[in-house]
Each structure stands twice: as structure tokens, then as C-alpha cells.
Amino acid sequence: MEIYYWWCMTLMFLIHAGFLAYEMGASRAKNALAAGVKNILALGYLLPSFFLVGWWIYGAFPAGFSIAEGASLGAPWSESMGPNVADKGTGIFWAAFAMFGATTASILSGSLIERVRLSAYVMMAVLLGAVLWILGAAWGWHPDGWLLTQFGYHDIGAAGPVHTVAGMFALGVLINLGARIGKFGPNGEINDIPAHSMPMAIIGLMLIIVGLFGFLGGCIIYNVGGDWTTIYGTPTNLSAFAFNALIGFGGGVIGAYAISRDPFWMVSGALAGIISVAAGLDLYYPPVAFAVAFAGGAMIPITGRALNKLGIDDAVGAVSVHGFAGIWSLIAAGIFMHGYPNMEGLPDITFLGQLTGAVVMALLGFVPGYLFSLVLKRAGILRVPPEVEHMGIDAVEVPSKAYPEAVPANGGQARST
């Protein structure tokens, strides 16, 4: 068991290598290093924060906000939270969950590039990755979570606690953060701010997708004796995950390409397709998974453009790819698996139960994201000053230049679309 999750955790580190390349490539040259540094720094802060509070939250709050029995097992001073040859599970599961939390922080990171203060981002990343997502996991992923026991919530691949919570948290922050200078014209026109290296961004996206297979592997439980179960204890196997994850990739690519013909959205569609099938990964018949993923992939360019029209500058489409695709994943599971039985004694999977879960996860992300970023905005520490934004964040917060000889300092001018 230990070695299986060790390699899942290792693959999940590729997610962060991918986000690093993705966001650096999607930034202009003058902001490329700052985009990378904030990812690495947030990971550094998040891991000890998750050790101190994250695992305790997972055990403490499955029934809501009241302290559950066994909460002390996740306390940092617990015997299980350190080297213990008699305990072959806690540390490796903690590591996998910590990497799930780090993923939520990286999802947030891309949306905010080129104008957020490094310190503000790190504080928001810790709140999201060490507190909020794991609270959602306690409610919807834990086998005693109230969304499961009361509503039959089904979400094998963490579409709710990771993707929906992080995507909607990012939406709340973006409302307060505002658009990059030059993104929107005085008459409402939407200007394209081109990436300084689209190939780097696309390679980064593919690395995220490779890492996502480790992420999904960490969502399945390998039991002593060789039996595989879901996070809820229901029977499954890696074959189901293999069929539907790969079919989800294909459906998402085709759906996004059919709508946009844009390489960026096409590869983002692959990610959205896998997220779209995540909630029902263990139960979908592969052609159904393809249809769900195709719809998810086709949806994200449309929702991305809709956010632009509303004046929201999501620099990498994370709200669409993670937030909206995560919500769609939960709702689609309610549509296509309505009436399917859960474990004995638990409510069946229903459309209402999945919709309830989607609303809870969306609010758990959006409300704290909006309120906390509003506090930071009122304190004057959310966004870099305009002169820093014009100059480039690298020169102030790193300080260094990614391409001191070959690329102009402005990294590309905005153009009207």
C-alpha cells in the first residue's frame, strides 16, 4: 500500500511542475518569474500548514462544524503524525491529501497572474489549500461526511472539494482583484494579452494532465489483500479509472476543439474533460463518460468568454476549467447515475443530492474567497501598484528578468479582439 501511494504522490508533484510552466508561459516576459516563484513559495508554506491543521480538519468535521470523535488522531502532536513503524497508512495518506491541497492553491494561482501581490497570494493559498478544500473533503469525501450520509453525494475524483472549491474561490478573488491593466478598453472592448510563450503553457498543461493520473490514483483505496475500493469503501478497480480517465481526456479535447479551434482551449479541454468525469469515474460506461467530457470541454471556451464579457479577467481560464467543469461533473453524475445504490444504509445517488453537493462546494469556495480578498483589498495589500504592474512584477518582487537578452521587457502588447 505504501509504495502505491508514494508513487501517486510523486506523480502529483508533476501537477506543480506543470502549473509552474503553464503560468510562466501564459504570463508576459516581465512577469514570468513572479508567476513561478509564487507557485513554489505557496507550496512551501502550504505543506507545513496542512500538517498543522489540514489532517485534523478532515477528521474533526465530517458531520458539519461540530467536533467528531477521533479528531485528535489528526492533531500534529498525535502519535500517528510522525515516524511510526506500526502505522503504515497515516503519513502516506497525509502526503497525498497535502498534494491535493497544493493543487487547489495552484488552480488559484493561474487566475491571478500579473497583478496579485505575492504575500496576498500566499495567504489566500494557505486558507484555500490547508483549510477550505479539506473541509469540503470532510463533508463530501469522508466516509462519514454529511453530504454522503444525508444526500448520497458521490464524487470519486474530488471534483467538488478540489476543483469546484478552488475554481469558485478564484472567482471570488477575481471580483475584488480586478482585471490586468489593458485587458478591457474604455468602450467595453476585450483586449487579448498574449502569453509570452504559448508552447511553454501548452507543455505545462500536458504535465498537469500527466500528474492528474497520480491525483486520480490517490482517490482509490488499495486494501491489504489486493482489493480496491473507492474513498467511500464501495468496490472498484483501476480498470474503471483507466477507461474513463482516458476517454474523458479524448472527449474534452474534441469538445473544446469543436467550439474554439484554439490550441490553449483545446489542451485545457483535455483537463476539463477528465475533471468532468471525475465524480462518476468508477461507474460510468465509457461512451457516457465521453459524452460528459465532450460537454465539459465544449463548455469551457464558452464560459471563459462569458466571464470576459462580465469584466472578469481570468488569465488562464481556471474558473471555467476547474470551477465550472467541477460543478458540471457533480451535476452530470446526478443525471446519469440517478438511483444508483451507494453502500448499504446510505442514500442512493440522486440528482438532488449531487446538486446539493455542487451548491455547497461552490459556496464553500466563493464566499471565503470573496470575503478574504475583500479584506486584503481594503487593507491595500491585494494588488501590486499600477506602476509595478506596468514595470513588471519580476523587477520588484523577484527581482530578476527571465529573458534579459532575447525578449523585450514588455513581453508583448495588448491587442483588441
Burial class (CB in 10 A: 0-12, 13-18, 19+), 258: middle
The predicted pLDDT at position 54 comes to: 94
Average pLDDT score over residue span 284-313: 96
pTM of the model: 0.94
| Sign of torsion over alpha carbons 92, 96, 102, 104 | negative
Residue type, 102: A
Where exactly are the structural domains of the chain? Answer: 2-406
Provide CB contacts within 8 A for 155, sequence distance 6+: 140, 141, 161, 278, 279, 329, 330, 333, 357
Query: What digits encode the pLDDT tens for the residues 266-283?
Result: 999 999 999 999 999 999
- Cell numbers that stand for 270 in this block: 483535455
Question: DSSP letter at 220?
Answer: E
Domain 2-406 maps to which CATH number in 1.10.8.870, 2.60.120.10, 1.10.3430.10, 2.60.40.10?
A: 1.10.3430.10
Q: Is the pLDDT of residue 413 over 60?
A: no
Could you count the other beta carbons within 10 Å of the beta carbon of residue 98? 24
The predicted pLDDT at position 163 comes to: 97
**CA angle, 201 as apex, 198 and 206 as ends, to 5°?**
130
Pick the more confident residue, 160 or 412.
160
Give DSSP secondary structure letters for 251-319: HHHHHHHHHH--HHHHHHHHHHHHHHHHTTTTT--HHHHHHHHHHHHHHHHHHHHHHHHTT---TT-HI
The predicted pLDDT at position 416 comes to: 36
Mean of pLDDT over the chain: 92
Cell match 498537469: residue? 208
The predicted pLDDT at position 74 comes to: 85
Q: Is the pLDDT of residue 402 over 90?
A: no
Using left for φ > 0, alpha for ψ between -120 and 50, and beta otherwise, residue 411 falls in left
Q: Is the pLDDT of residue 186 over 60?
A: yes
